[in-house]
Structure 1
C-alpha cells in the first residue's frame, strides 16, 4: 500500500511540472525587448538551456543545483539576465524543481498551455519570452498560495553582495 501511495504521489509531482508546454501555442509574432532568431539562440545557449527556454521542454526533476540555493541573491534568466526571483521567496516544494511563491515585479509574464490535456499557467521571461516553467495554486498558504515551478537550467543565480 505504501508503495502504491508513493508511486501515485510521484506521478502527480512529475506531471505537475513536466511537459513541452507552449511549444506550439506561443505566438511566433509576439515581440519581446530581447528578440533573436532561433539560430542566434542556439549559438548563445547551451543545448539544455535552448531546449527549455526556446522549445519549452522540461529538465529532469532534482537535476538542478539551484534546488539547494538558500543564500540571499537573485535568480535571473539564463538567456537575457532579466531578474526573475529572489531567494527570500524560494521554498522547498519537494517537487524537484526550484520553487518560488512570487516573482520579482515585472520579471515574468504569463500564458497558458494545454499540452497535457488540461490548462496550466505557463510562466516565461518578460524580457526575452524564454519558457521558465508553470505556476500552480499549491504553494505556501501563509504567503501567496502560489508555486512557481521553475526549470533551474532556465536561470542563473547571482549572490547578494555583502
Structure 2
C-alpha cells in the first residue's frame, strides 16, 4: 500500500497522458474565464442599463399657436430610443388631486410634443414620463404659466 502511495506522489503529472489532459482542461478553463467572463459582465451591464428608464430632463413649454403648446424635452439615450422609448404626458388641474392623460405613450423623434391648450389650462401642471415596454420612468413636471 505504501508503495502505491509513493509511486503516485513521485510521478511527474506533465509526462502522463491523464496529467496532460487535466492540465489542458485547466488551461482552457483559465483562458475562457479571462476572455469570456468580462464579455458576459459587459453584456449583463448593458442589459441592466436598458432596463432602467431614465427621468425626463430639460422640460420647457412654449407657445405654438392659439390652440397648442409645444413641450420640449432633452434627448433620450439612443439605445433606449431604438428599443422603443416613448413619452407620456398627464395634466393635473389647479385644484385637482387626480391626473388626466393628455397623450398615450408616443414616440418623440424631434424631442417635442404638441399639447392642446384646452387640455392644459393656465395654472395646471404637466407630468411627463418616459415609457419603455410598460415600464414607466420617474416623472418630471412643469407648470403652465400665464406668460405663455
TM-score w.r.t. length of structure 1: 0.23
Structure with larger Rg? 2
More helix by share: 2
